[in-house]
Amino acid sequence: ETIEEYLMDVPQPKSFDVLLTTFDVCRIEKAALRKIRWGYFVMDEAHRIKNDQSSLSQVVRSFTTQRRLLLTGTPLQNNLQELWALLNFLMPSVFTNAKQFDGMLERISQQHEATADHQELKGGRDVITVLHRILRPFMLRR
């Protein structure tokens, strides 16, 4: 039975509170899942949406949700742009601009260059401190 078929038998199919799914189910059942206003959207293996332009990321971003929770053991795999994509998915009204995020990251990278002057080094440390503050409410480490 597909989600679409199941929803036909539910009295109020648009009043679900929680969606706990895998990325495969999201892709296969995207049309049915888009019809529901979700109280929670919980996604395991969330690093699978680290590219905000990927097809899976576009699918899950199209769902109407009140709250979103991402579960992953690897929020940082390759670069900090992937982190921005996850933060943008969680709070698109706060993490709106990838270019601003890039600007902060540029200061971090300047800190590591051999030619960085004292001001660039201080700016890089400041950005790292800011990133720690930003991430604190979003990450639970075991």
Does the residue 48 lie in any domain?
yes
Number of domains forming the structure of the chain: 2
Same domain, 6 and 45: yes
- Tell me what pLDDT residue 133 has: 81
The whole-number pLDDT of residue 11 equals 60
Same domain for 72 and 33, yes or no, is: yes
Both 114 and 68 in one domain: the answer is no
Are 65 and 104 found together in one domain? no
- pLDDT of the residue at 46: 83
Give the confidence band of 16 by pLDDT, cuts at 50, 70, 90: low
Q: Tell me if 85 is assigned to some domain.
A: no
Q: Do 72 and 47 contact (CB within 8 A), yes or no?
A: yes
Verify that 58 and 107 share a domain, yes or no. no
Q: Are residues 2 and 70 in the same domain?
A: yes
pLDDT for residue 136: 78
Is residue 89, in this structure, part of any structural domain at all? Answer: no
pLDDT single digits (tens) 29-57: 888 888 888 888 888 888 888 888 888 88
Residue 63 belongs to domain spanning: 1-77
**Do 69 and 115 belong to one domain?**
no
pLDDT at residue 122, rounded to an integer:
64
Same domain, 72 and 18: yes
72 and 34 within one domain: yes
pLDDT tens digit sequence for 114-142: 666 666 666 666 777 777 787 777 777 66
pLDDT for the residue numbered 104: 75
The pLDDT tens digits for 69-91 are: 888 887 676 777 888 888 889 88
Q: Is residue 86 part of a domain?
A: no
